[in-house]
Amino acid sequence: MVKMKRYAVTLALVLLMAASLTTYYAYGAKLRLPEYRLQTLEGDPAEGAELRIEGSFVGGKGSYYLGVTAEGSEYGNDSLWQRLLYTGNAWIRRDIPDIGALYREHSQFMRGKTNENGFYHDKDWLVYADAEVVQPDLRLVWRIDVLETSTGQRIRYNGEGAEPLGQMDFVNVIDVQKAGDDIHVLTGQGRLGRPEEYRDEVFDAETGKPVRSVKLQLGEPSAPDRELQINYIAEQTLTAPNPHLVFIVEQLGTKSANPAESGVAAAADGAVAEAVPNDQRPKILSRSAMVYSYESGEMDSFPLTVESDESAPEEIWSSRLLVGDTLSILTAAKDAVTVTHYNVTDGSKAAETIIRADQIGQGEIKSALMANNRIYVLVKKDENTDMPIAAVADAADGRILYRGQPVLEDPNGRPQEQLDDVWLSYLGVRR
Amino acid sequence: MNRYLKLVHLEVQRFRYVLFGLMALTLIIQSIAIVWTSRNEMSRIREHEAIRAYYAEHPYSFAFAVSNAYFWLAVPILISVVVLALYVFGIWYRDWFGRDTFAYRLLTLPTARRNVYLAKATAILLFVFSMVAFQLLAMPFYQWLFRLAVPADLREPASLAEAVRGSPVFELLIPTDFTQFLIYYGFGIIAVFIVFTAILLERSYRWRGIFYAIVYIAACLAAFFLPLLLPVMDGNHYLYRTEILAIMIGIAILILAASIALGFRLIARKITV
């Protein structure tokens, strides 16, 4: 005992250290944020399994990203270890199912790949294509990487395309497909301040070498005071085969004041656009879908609906999706979501699917998207802290298959005032 | 093992008053900071209707008090860091430059000399983690002071983790993420061993030793930070981030092992008394 007394200070320090740090990391370091869960109000819970309602919890100090699913809450404070391991290659998202599968099945092939739009994958072939503008000549250099999965044979090509295109400031690989022995790399490319042009760069699948370069003709403005706005829609599943690519070409009534934006402007579609009041947007004079066939190299077109200013409700946003041969266009307003399906092979239009906000619950439509042959809609009464209702409908006929609402499962010691400070206004679908 | 533990205890005894002094300084300054900040905020509430109305909707929490007082909460922590960093050198040099050349007695003890090396390293780490643990123990006390200073109707509860996140210095010292804790303090442990070996190089070779020590530290830093340059050098992003992480961990372990091995060799064979 006397001996132990001599070492009292040292022992006390060791005990202090062990007890404090263990208690802190076992218990004290947890934020103990409230737990929410998506509860089924009506319908098949399996339909709501992929839903995530997103927003933030702002109770207490700080604001935390919050995603609510049928399994519970996901707070956006991943541990450092999870961030270090998960993000892997920061250029390509591994949470996309088909991309994640490629990383698992072909990890060596996936090294050095930086463009998630550059993949093609079928049961026999895995192809990656990318391009970059090389300084100081500003010329385009292509990188083709082909793996024949049945034999393991790999072909690589790194060099210029089939035609000298002169100097370029930018190039974007939009889609990669394989048709027969040809690899088609659809790109947007051009010089700053000039309209972007779209080209189908064709490479030989056996050798990787360039074969030809085809410039796509997407039309011209019909008058000097008009401009074209072009969006492209590729197959929703990034790596899947699809013999078509669709361009939505809109002729706008007034030319933009900014010369860099005049003429053709394009963006990858499927994104949610910002709300713009009707009276500030250029007038859309016509809208058509131009369908490019990789196999034939031909471009077909069919007209799309243009809402008139008088009859159209205030449009909040629209999104477009290409799955196989079906082009689906979702238009969302505060009181209803309208989905129109087109067959891109012949331009035929199926009956419109309309889902009204009052079919789901009280309030306005805040978010809507399409995926997995379903339409997902979020309705909310109040802008702030009201709990929204999410619904899943069949994309073909608009039947409501599921309705759910986030509910509080465990306050985790938080006072009621903090629990009221949860803002859930966005819809996501777990891939 | 017994002799090693006795040497650890010896080092703790030699530094205990400084350690307790740092703890006392931390407790006093941080307590004053929490109470002063909280009472200051209460004065503002009493004087301004708009602030009173705001706090009726958003009650004041301990986490906010920590955030508002972060500068004075950080001052004693920074003082402690500086003192402990200097003592990483002092724990060796006081033995050589003290009045009785204590190093002679230490290095002629009937025990393996590596025990002296390990005991000093253990002591430094014990001091560091004791200060961290003391900071953690003090937080509930500061919460109690906060509750005394702020009326119940104007405050709301806050977790310890929220309070820690309220101050960037606390987030660095006691990160809520355990992986971050391991990484920060892992770097610190490796740094202590690198400096110890550099000191022993100097003690072994004197003037040439200073040069060797500088080169040794530079080489360790270069080896450790080289993998961080890999994503920059590897323009094609060939290596996955997990692979770069594994390389960095491997190099860190190698540096630690090399520092300890070199330190053992120097203290056993090169240092003469």
Q: For the segment A338-366, what is each residue's pLDDT rounded down to a tens digit?
A: 999 999 998 898 888 999 999 998 899 99
User: What pLDDT score does A195 carry?
Assistant: 79
Length of chain B: 273
User: What pLDDT score does A185 carry?
Assistant: 95
Residue with tokens 């009276």: A279
Scanning B69-177, the segments in alpha helix (DSSP H) are 70-97, 102-107, 113-149, 160-165, 168-173
Name the closest residue on chain A to residue B12, using Cα atoms: A10
User: Bigger pLDDT: A91 or A391?
Assistant: A391
Q: Which of B177, B185, B245 to mutate against chain A (most A CBs within 10 Å)?
A: B177
CA distance A255 to B72: 59
| Same domain membership, residue A138 and residue A102 | yes
| Same domain membership, residue A241 and residue A127 | no
CB A226 within 8 A of CB A197: no
- A372-429 pLDDT, tens digit each: 889 999 999 876 668 899 999 998 889 999 999 999 999 888 877 777 788 898 898 8
| Same domain membership, residue A107 and residue A80 | no
Closest chain A C-alpha to B198 CA, distance in angstroms: 27
Q: Which amino acid is at A289?
A: A
User: What pLDDT score does A36 carry?
Assistant: 93
Confidence of residue A262 (pLDDT cuts 50, 70, 90): very low
Nearest CB to B63 within list A21, A29, A60: A60
What percent of chain B stands above pLDDT 70? 96
Q: In A149-243, where do the E strands start and end?
A: 153-159, 170-179, 182-190, 197-204, 210-215, 227-233
| CB-based burial, B232-261: b 16+ in 10 Å, e otherwise | eeeeebebbbeebeeebeebbeebbebbbe
User: What pLDDT score does A265 carry?
Assistant: 37
Confidence of residue A270 (pLDDT cuts 50, 70, 90): very low
Boundaries of domain holding A114: 88-215
CA distance A59 to A64: 9
Could you tell me the strand order of the sheet in which A315-323 lies? A315-323, A326-333, A336-343, A353-356
User: What pLDDT score does B95 carry?
Assistant: 84
CA distance A157 to A116: 19
CB A160 within 8 A of CB A139: yes
Say whether pLDDT at B41 is over 70.
yes
Mean pLDDT for the stretch of residues B87-114: 80
Q: Which of A7, A14, A17, A104 to mutate against chain B (most B CBs within 10 Å)?
A: A17
Say whether pLDDT at A177 is over 50.
yes
User: What pLDDT score does A84 carry?
Assistant: 63
Query: ipTM, 2 decimals?
Result: 0.87
| Same domain membership, residue A211 and residue A129 | yes
Q: Which of A215, A247, A268 is the last residue of a domain?
A: A215
User: What pLDDT score does A264 carry?
Assistant: 36
The residues near B207 (Cβ < 8 Å, ≥ 6 apart) are none
Is residue A114 domain-resident? Answer: yes
A362 CB within 8 Å of a chain B CB: no
| Same domain membership, residue A92 and residue A52 | no
User: What pLDDT score does A280 carry?
Assistant: 59
What percent of chain A stands above pLDDT 70? 85
CA distance A387 to A242: 40
Show residues of chain B in contact with A23, CB under 8 Å: 136
User: Mean of the per-residue pLDDT values for chain A?
Assistant: 84
Give the pairing type, strands A64-69 and A72-75. antiparallel
Question: CA A161: distance to chain centroid?
Answer: 29
Closest chain A C-alpha to B139 CA, distance in angstroms: 11
Q: Which amino acid is at B153?
A: D
Confidence of residue A271 (pLDDT cuts 50, 70, 90): very low
Pick from A402, A360, A399: nearest CA to A381 = A360
Beta-carbon separation of A62 and B156 below 8 A? no
Show residues of chain A in contact with B160, CB under 8 Å: 24, 28-29
Say whether pLDDT at A266 is over 60.
no
Closest chain B C-alpha to A334 CA, distance in angstroms: 31
Confidence of residue A263 (pLDDT cuts 50, 70, 90): very low
DSSP A235: B
- B64-99 pLDDT, tens digit each: 999 999 999 999 999 999 999 999 999 998 887 766
User: What pLDDT score does A261 carry?
Assistant: 41
CA distance B72 to A180: 71
Confidence of residue A81 (pLDDT cuts 50, 70, 90): low
A153 CB within 8 Å of a chain B CB: no
Residue with tokens 């999870």: A82
User: Bigger pLDDT: B270 or A143?
Assistant: A143
The domain tally of chain A equals: 3
Where is B242: in which H helix or E strand?
helix B241-265
User: What pLDDT score does A259 carry?
Assistant: 41
User: What pLDDT score does A90 carry?
Assistant: 56
- A202-239 pLDDT, tens digit each: 999 988 889 999 999 988 887 888 888 899 999 999 99
CB A297 within 8 A of CB A342: no
A residues 9-48 lying closer than 8 A (beta carbon) to B: 9-10, 13-14, 16-17, 19-21, 23-25, 28-32
| Same domain membership, residue A133 and residue A78 | no
| Same domain membership, residue A285 and residue A232 | yes
Is residue A11 domain-resident? Answer: no
Confidence of residue B139 (pLDDT cuts 50, 70, 90): very high
CA angle (A83 as vertex; B245, A98 as ends), nearest 5: 100
Beta-carbon separation of A84 and B242 below 8 A? yes
User: What pLDDT score does A258 carry?
Assistant: 45
Say whether pLDDT at A38 is over 50.
yes
User: What pLDDT score does A89 carry?
Assistant: 52
User: What pLDDT score does A308 carry?
Assistant: 59
Say whether pLDDT at B215 is over 70.
yes
Q: Which of B6, B12, B20 to mutate against chain A (most A CBs within 10 Å)?
A: B12
User: What pLDDT score does B258 carry?
Assistant: 95
Say whether pLDDT at A87 is over 80.
no
| Same domain membership, residue A79 and residue A107 | no
Say whether pLDDT at A116 is over 70.
yes
Q: Which amino acid is at A367?
A: S
CA distance B164 to B217: 33
Mean pLDDT for the stretch of residues B166-182: 90
| Same domain membership, residue A82 and residue A174 | no
Show residues of chain B in contact with A112, CB under 8 Å: 236-238
Confidence of residue A314 (pLDDT cuts 50, 70, 90): low
Mean pLDDT for the stretch of residues A128-156: 89
Say whether pLDDT at B164 is over 60.
yes
Say whether pLDDT at A281 is over 90.
no
Residue with tokens 């010329």: A139
Q: Which of A291, A314, A337 is the last residue of a domain?
A: A314
CA distance A130 to B235: 14
| Cis amide leading into A136 (omega within 30) | yes
| Same domain membership, residue A226 and residue A168 | no
User: Domain segments of chain B: what residues?
Assistant: 1-175, 177-273
Distances (CA, A) of B246 to A352, B132, B250, B253: 54, 28, 6, 11
Residue with tokens 């983790």: B161
CA distance A412 to B157: 12
Mean pLDDT for the stretch of residues A304-318: 66
Pick from A289, A316, A293, A317: nearest CA to A305 = A289
| Same domain membership, residue A92 and residue A82 | no
Beta-carbon separation of A28 and B136 below 8 A? yes
User: What pLDDT score does A316 carry?
Assistant: 67
CB A27 within 8 A of CB A69: no
User: What pLDDT score does A44 carry?
Assistant: 94
User: What pLDDT score does A256 carry?
Assistant: 46
Long-range contacts (CB closer than 8 Å, 24 or more residues apart) made by B212-218 = B216/B262
Q: Which of A215, A244, A262 is the last residue of a domain?
A: A215
Mean pLDDT for the stretch of residues B53-60: 80
